[in-house]
Chains A and B, each alone.
Chain A
Amino acid sequence: MTVQFTLNGRRVSFEGSGARRLLDVLREDLGQTGTKEGCGEGECGACSVLIDGEVVDSCLVAVGQVDGAQVVTVEGLQSPLQQAFVEHGAAQCGICTPGMLLAAHVLLQKTTRPTADDVREALAGNLCRCTGYTKIIDAVLSCAR
């Protein structure tokens, strides 16, 4: 089947089985390797992307399900969050970082003045094994207006 969707503002087209994981199509067919695979089970959030503005795990989405949708990956994220992560030392190995950025972006879109608890809840689906989270939370809070 042909799946057409908007990826980071550009129309893209995929030809193949609609049952393939969005994660694999992004990385292997469309060359967008910013999205990482961690657990492949919806636990770790490394593969987080935005579909129509909501954060989802792309390992759990069949690519046919995004036909006609707006998909944003870390490559398309325009936010002060990336620079804040750099400045706060919020990335170490970097595998969780793209997903963290996208989940944090959704929080900042919805909440003007998040608390540290709001950040922890928004990032509960994104696991990090390096940082201990504190610097990530600091980086996100530094971007709150």
Chain B
Amino acid sequence: MREVTYLRPKDMQDAVRLYRTTPGCRALAGGTDLMVMLHARTLRPAPRALLDLWSLPELKGIVNRPTKLFIGAAEPYTGIIRSPDARRAVPALVAAARTIGAAQIQNRGTLGGNLANASPAGDTLPVLLAYDALVITDRRAIPIDRFFTGYRKTALESDELITGVELPLDRQVAFRKVGTRAAQAISKVVIAVCREPARIAIGSVAEVPLRASRAEAALARGDITGAVAAVAEDIRPIDDVRSTAAYRRAVTQNVLAELLGGDR
């Protein structure tokens, strides 16, 4: 096997240049997904180089701006959990970060990695959808509802790097994850809900983390019963190693009813 080259850029400008000019280059942050796949040789195409973004100061930190919160793409979940600004402005994101793995994973996993991997089970992704996050890259801002384009596919160009996420400061979002146990479990269903504006975002129930548009329309009319009924039409769950489609559909409706304070 050809040895994989490790590249450590000097700064963001250097990272963008290396990423554009190095064939077969994959961006690496905390490695919680990428290093597993690299070692198991399940990455297709097989990468020829890793571009290490972990230590770039431009991608670290949480910055409180007048109307929004910026979280660096390579800021680990532990940093989000400990941040007073994040706890105040985006408590649902902090709650989601606390459910991701255990300390070892929270110390390395990042929002940039969760977004770039675009797993339908990514725990922060429904929360970012419910907040209408902006995904900031080296060249533009992508509204999150246009970010996930297919199973593990994103709107990123082949040479585009995520630098961070922007979140609004004044939105009330509720979050719930259902897994096999409280810690260290991959989600069976993960839901984030906002009442005003109406946002219902769900993970592990389709090939992408999705907004439940029919249920949102009902919620916008104040029809909670209708939202709980409609969500079954919005999702496309499958049977897999972690759960069944029927279970996911039932638990999605039950959890949504609970989060909205309605009946089933």
Known contacts A17-B3, A125-B105; A59/B39 CB under 8 A: yes
Contacts of B78 in A (CB 8 A): 54
Question: Within A46-63, which residues are at the interface with B (CB < 8 Å)?
Answer: 48, 54-57, 59-62
Q: Does A124 contact B (CB under 8 A)?
A: yes
**Smallest CB–CB gap between A52 and chain B, Å?**
10
A56 to B54, CA, bound (A): 14
B91-120 toward A: CB 8 Å interface, digit per residue (1/0)? 000000000011111011000000000000
**Smallest CB–CB gap between B121 and chain A, Å?**
14
A60 to B105, CA, bound (A): 9
Which of B30, B38, B54, B107 lies at the interface centre, i.e. has the most chain A CB atoms within 10 A of its CB?
B107
Q: Does B32 contact A (CB under 8 A)?
A: yes
Complex contact A124–B52 (CB within 8 A): no
Question: Within B33-91, which residues are at the interface with A (CB < 8 Å)?
Answer: 35-36, 38-40, 50, 52, 54-55, 78
Complex contact B107–A62 (CB within 8 A): no
**Smallest CB–CB gap between A45 and chain B, Å?**
6
Q: Does B168 contact A (CB under 8 A)?
A: no
Complex contact A43–B8 (CB within 8 A): no
Contacts of A45 in B (CB 8 A): 102, 104
Complex contact B31–A41 (CB within 8 A): no
Complex contact A19–B31 (CB within 8 A): no
Contact check: which of A62, A106, A122 meets B35 at CB < 8 Å? A62
Question: Within A120-134, which residues are at the interface with B (CB < 8 Å)?
Answer: 121-126
**Smallest CB–CB gap between A22 and chain B, Å?**
9
Known contacts A45-B102, A62-B28, A62-B52; A56/B107 CB under 8 A: yes
Complex contact A42–B104 (CB within 8 A): yes
Complex contact B108–A56 (CB within 8 A): yes
Q: Does A65 contact B (CB under 8 A)?
A: yes
Which partner residue on chain A sits nearest B30 by CB separation? A60
Count A/B pairs, Cβ under 8 Å: 91
Contacts of A62 in B (CB 8 A): 6, 28, 31, 35, 50, 52
Contacts of B183 in A (CB 8 A): 121, 124-125
Complex contact A60–B31 (CB within 8 A): yes
Which partner residue on chain A sits nearest B186 by CB separation? A43
**Smallest CB–CB gap between B172 and chain A, Å?**
27
Contact check: which of B31, B40, B184 meets A43 at CB < 8 Å? B184
Q: Does A138 contact B (CB under 8 A)?
A: no
Q: Does B5 contact A (CB under 8 A)?
A: yes
Contact check: which of A1, A17, A41, A106 meets B103 at CB < 8 Å? A106
**Smallest CB–CB gap between A37 and chain B, Å?**
10
A56 to B102, CA, bound (A): 10
**Smallest CB–CB gap between A102 and chain B, Å?**
10
Known contacts A19-B5, A21-B39, A56-B108; A65/B101 CB under 8 A: no
Q: List 22 A-B contacts (CB under 8 A).
A: A17-B3, A17-B6, A19-B50, A48-B104, A54-B78, A54-B107, A55-B107, A56-B108, A60-B31, A61-B108, A62-B28, A62-B35, A62-B50, A62-B52, A64-B6, A64-B52, A65-B31, A65-B55, A124-B102, A124-B183, A125-B103, A125-B104
Q: Which 5 pairs show the lowest CB-CB distances between chains A and B?
A: A125-B102, A18-B6, A124-B183, A124-B102, A19-B4
